[in-house]
Structure 1
Amino acid sequence: MRTVNVNLGDKSYDIIIGHDLKKQIVDFIQGQKFSRKALLITDTNIAPLYGEKVQAILNEAGLDAKLAVILAGEQSKSLACAEDLYTQAIQHGLDRKSPIIALGGGVVGDLAGFIAATFMRGVPFIQMPTSLLAQVDSSVGGKVAVNHALGKNLIGAFYQPKAVFMDLDMMKSLPKREIATGLGEVVKYGYIYDKEFYEYLLVHKDEILDLKSEAISHVIARSCEIKADVVSQDEKEAGLRAILNFGHTLAHAIEKETQYKKYNHGEAVAIGMVGVAKISNKLGMIDEKIVTDMEKLLAMFNLPEKAQDCSVENIYADIFHDKKTVNGKVNWVLLEEIGKVCISSNVPEQIVKEAIAEILA
């Protein structure tokens, strides 16, 4: 078992990574001053696999946990779905000390966190991410949100969990595509922060893809350590934390243009990273070899490098609806070298459009 601490003063919490975490979950809950009523939010993919099992663990810990099941998929990250969950929380009798637990991938975590942040102005929140993507990205750092028709994650908050439990046994049920989408975010950490980690991914790619315990636990723990380090320095994205958005401006536009149906988030991030690497190359910041090596690494992890069913003009228009756009200027996270990025809002339109054209199939 490995533990990663997210150091945020009185909002600090631990990420517990390991196999069969029942005892750790029970001990944690019994050590808190939670009310007895709780809401366990999951989706239609996870509920049949782990819903009742986790509900039983929560009950053993002394909670009366209601299981709330949402439809799997990005479409559930909506205000309409949130309203239904508020209703279930009220009907079950949750109060200000009642915990809300997220059991699932990024959609479940983002939505459940948004509910926890806003129900009665904030109730305790616990993350139990089941997908690799959620484990290495959305479950860490306290960003919670729902989508709007005009853009992704536009309605949300910064709201930290009390703890994050990552049971690696739950990864055994993940389809290969879900492993790949998580690796899209994993690769990002190497590029933005840690060249040694990038090199580890190259050397150990086969063990990672086979979910060998030592390799996958290291990948998850190191990804969480990097994100925790960044978040602890800049919780609310005033500066440094923006580097975590590497590839995401283009990714969100690609997701929107394909109605959030064609690409998983990590796949869109992979394409977005290639696009930003191409922008960085066109600006003279990195060699062409870094771009081609990135494309090779992403291909090794079964990730795409080009997007279908998109147009240059639509993608370009969409990036101005992104949260990272301020006063009509896009804050691009650009690559200076492997392990180091910078932020610039002075990227010429022509260069952006050229790079977009090169990542469209």
Structure 2
Amino acid sequence: MTESSPGRAANVSEYDASHIQVLEGLDAIRRRPGMYIGSTGERGLHHVVYEVVSYAVDEHLAGHVDAIDVTITADGGIRVMDDGRGLPVEAQEPAGKSALERELTQLSFGPQSHAGYQVSGGLNGLGLAVVNALSTRLTVEVHRDGRRWTQAYEKGVPVTALTRHEETSEHGTAIAFMPDAGIFETTQYSFATLSERLEELAFLNSGLAVSLTDERPERPVRYHHEDGLRAYVARLNSYPASLVHSPAIAFEAEDEKRTILVQVAMQWNAWSPGEVLSFANNIRTREGGAHERGFRSALTDVVNDYARRHTQMCADGQGLTAEAVQQGLSAVISVKLAHPVFEGSTRTRLSNPEADTYVQEVIRRHLSDWLNRNPNEAAAIVRHIVNACAGQGKW
């Protein structure tokens, strides 16, 4: 060991416990926003809107919300309203804070115990607190228990008490916030970006009405898709004349024991290379994962089994390749499960093995049944795939 210089020894001795900074609560969010919303650019700016909307969608999945209204306000802020139960306002021991304030200021790292959600999207217990922390101001208005309630915050800190107002027969929650220009690189919301995601949520949650209004100038849109994923696939396949079959194939199945719901819609066309979109708890899984892997595997097996039984195969006798089977296929796979496991902070790949297993079960059962019950459409699909196989030099 070499002898340290006096100066170096002094520097070492100055490094003690007082130099270790532990960030807690909302201060941690404001200091490291990228850890919670991915970025402080446009993507993160829009993500905070989706977090508030995710709370309302969770209420819908629990059976309490029929409509969600999102507004880009004239001053550049956001207001999200729903017709659900309303955030709870009762005081909670031992802190004595209202449940509403706890939800808006504390990080719980899990679904809120009062909500009773089996399925939850967003940051799963963090979302509203993150939005509050990253806003210069946030106001919440709740219609619940026969009264209207309000509270205001600045940078995540309450500046008014939770206040009870007049009686009302309405129910629901309205949250309005202004993103903090000191944190975000831009605070200009894109109508097109929000519109695309909100319509996506309407597709993924059939029967849910979602509206978006821009007061900067005013231009309202409203999305309400009773056909759900079938309507989503129709949007993807925008050239009816090129469809291999119609209508789209759509089905859903639920395993209550494993607490997983699978919804699938799919349709082949002759004009595109195909596109498969997958979602878990309404979150787009851009890198796929277990549910998408199960879909692709079972799809290839089912189509090959049907083709063999009807002697429609590629010339080499090796069966229809996965690439040929998916040529021109537009499909949407959505799973909703109690405990999703995502790889990476950006939540782009689902890891749950039960999603792979159950999606395969659902595809093998329901797609096989559909092909057998629709022989004309099934024959057209297999002919299309065989032609794609020929294009790969296998015919």
Same fold (TM over 0.5): no
**TM-score, normalised by the number of residues in structure 1:** 0.29
Query: Which structure features the higher share of helix residues?
Result: 1
**TM-score, normalised by the number of residues in structure 2:** 0.27
Radius of gyration: which is bigger?
2
